[in-house]
Structure 1
């Protein structure tokens, strides 16, 4: 089930339309209905609140003004790199760490 802070992809008439973050899910006065506040991740940012059933939050198709919509939960891609617990990646046999590059100061690039 999609929860607060999850990212969903909103489909409009079977076409992906926009990504959104679920900001808040509050119960409605009607059983099994919820007020779902979405932050649409587009320019400009927009916040909307839809009243949806639990099944619709979980990906079932629904309609608004006769138009078909559905939410699809977006899962973060697997990160196969291993970390050693200190925030640094462990070097594995198949993955060698790249050599460190030269740091360029933005201060030195400023026009005088």
Structure 2
């Protein structure tokens, strides 16, 4: 079951329309129904409360304003640890040159780090 703090993808008519984070799930006064508060991850941010059965929170199709809707829990992709060969603790003397060397093949697939604080202002060539 999707739980508080989970990210869900909201589908309308089988098309993904928005991501949301589940802020709260509390029982409704109607038996077997829940009030689910969602932070819609879009601009502008908006909080909505829907009243749904547990099956709908778990991904079953339901109807809202005559349109079929569905929530799908988002599972973050697993990122392989890029530092598998790095020692868990730093070398005792802090100058172990072997631990600082890297495999050329692993460097080919690494991305660039961009510093937002030092990025260039393209309009006038000054740092911002």
TM-score scaled by structure 2?
Answer: 0.67
The higher radius of gyration belongs to 2
Give 2:127's match in structure 1, choosing from 95, 109, 112. 109
Q: Which stretches in structure 1 are left out of the alignment for 5+ residues?
A: none
1:80 paired residue number: 80
Alignment of 1:8-87 (within 5 A): 8-81=8-81
Is the helix fraction higher in 1 or 2?
A: 2
Aligned length: 101
Aligned CA distance change for structure 1 residues 85 and 53 (closer, same or farther; 3 Å): farther
**In structure 1, the residue corresponding to 2:78 is in which secondary structure?**
coil
Supply the RMSD in Å over aligned alpha carbons.
Answer: 2.8
**Which runs of at least 4 in structure 1 moved beyond 2 Å after TM superposition?**
82-86, 91-98
| Greater length-normalized contact order (CA 8 Å, ≥ 6 residues apart) | 1
Q: Which stretches in structure 2 are left out of the alignment for 5+ residues?
A: 90-100, 119-125
Is the strand fraction higher in 1 or 2?
A: 1
